[in-house]
Structure 1
């Protein structure tokens, strides 16, 4: 015979669980902070002007994307040091984007706020984007630490398909992942990293990749790339 009180209690638990989205429940169970829940950009701000609207960035069907040009990069309101960032992305043909980390802004009396750049998890259409196809070492392809380290053992799904990216940063060590596979790892500031930096366009940026913590940034290259399920865990 069913215990009526236990039955009512079970129904109450089910209803309470239903009040939370699946992402919220996942975040609670794994200590992730949801950065984009499919409906709000409350955790983000414009890179150049935190008080301005994030023009051009649209939310539709639980996804985030740049609709048009001139919206500009967006950054998290919070800064992160040791972290694990997980995100899903879906490229359109020939699209180019990326996620940067250890980014900060400083105040300049002449120009207002300006960005301290940071390492980038490259996101781009490897199959169609000419610049990537012509890149001899792959350091501009999806999953690369842009202009520093190329990805290995990559299984990128083509434009129109969802991929899952992951960045793990602990101390000076960083690793990039794609669809459950580790693509690369490197150490910020070590001899090899500094050599590569001296040979690329960031050679004069002394702060590039050197900050202990910083914002996470989604780039705007004027292309349509869809994002969803963006979450971060402090380590």
Structure 2
């Protein structure tokens, strides 16, 4: 019996250690590049200090999340043009985060700061975050193209439960998805897009949403949001 139990334990450990590799192989077979495999952040870097180790972000039990303060936004080391990005997220109560795309790092020698521009897939606790409940336009709720387009036909699982998000960008056309349903569809640089831009805080940022390719960014708003199974496919 002891020998049999040991064999079961050994098999379980082997399966656990091979999970990340198995997930990556499955993703690759479907044409995806794994950006977060549940084990490391080797494909990410700090937005503001690219040469320094990532701080504040923790990897545990196959999940990525903020632990403490001062971590800052993180971005992919590589840039992407046409793509399909898929990810899972699990909110904590009143948490706020988001995923940006087509962002770039522009070093300002005078200020010594890095500036990042890019549209955002909003991720927030719709049910408990006061700002969202007071937003009449819905452009700050989960799945929205932040401050541009509100989500439609949304089914967001509450905090404590996992949700599946997706962003598809092909040429100038972009769509946001949540739990298998399309929420948002828009065209970067269109008359409607530019009109909305002139009415929000990005009006003076000429590069916002206009890049042909850019980094993927996960925001740090000081709240704990869990992420897993982040992968991207070039289209």
Match of 1:165 in 2: 165
1:54 positional shift = 1.2
C-alpha separation between the residues in 2 aligned to 1:137 and 1:103? 25
Q: Which residues of structure 1 form unaligned runs of 5+?
A: 1-14
2:72 aligned with 1:72: yes
**Equivalent residues in 2 for 1:94-109 (5 A)?**
94-109=94-109
Any conservation in 1 of the 2:28–2:34 contact (CA below 8 Å)?
A: no
**Equivalent residues in 2 for 1:1-235 (5 A)?**
21-235=21-235
1:22 positional shift = 3.0
C-alpha separation between the residues in 2 aligned to 1:107 and 1:55? 20
C-alpha separation between the residues in 1 aligned to 2:73 and 2:216? 10
SS at match of 2:104: strand
**Structure 1, 178-187 or 104-113: larger mean CA deviation:** 104-113
1:19 positional shift = 8.5
Any conservation in 1 of the 2:20–2:37 contact (CA below 8 Å)?
A: no
C-alpha separation between the residues in 2 aligned to 1:129 and 1:107? 33
Any conservation in 2 of the 1:100–1:217 contact (CA below 8 Å)?
A: yes
Moved over 2 A (4+): 18-22
C-alpha separation between the residues in 1 aligned to 2:178 and 2:70? 28
C-alpha separation between the residues in 2 aligned to 1:131 and 1:165? 22
Query: Which digits, 9 at most, give the CA deviation of each residue in 1:52-74, with x for residues without a partner?
Result: 12111001100000001110000
Match of 1:6 in 2: none
Aligned length: 219
Q: Which residues of structure 2 form unaligned runs of 5+?
A: 1-14
User: Alignment RMSD, CA only?
Assistant: 1.4
Question: TM-score, normalization: structure 1?
Answer: 0.90
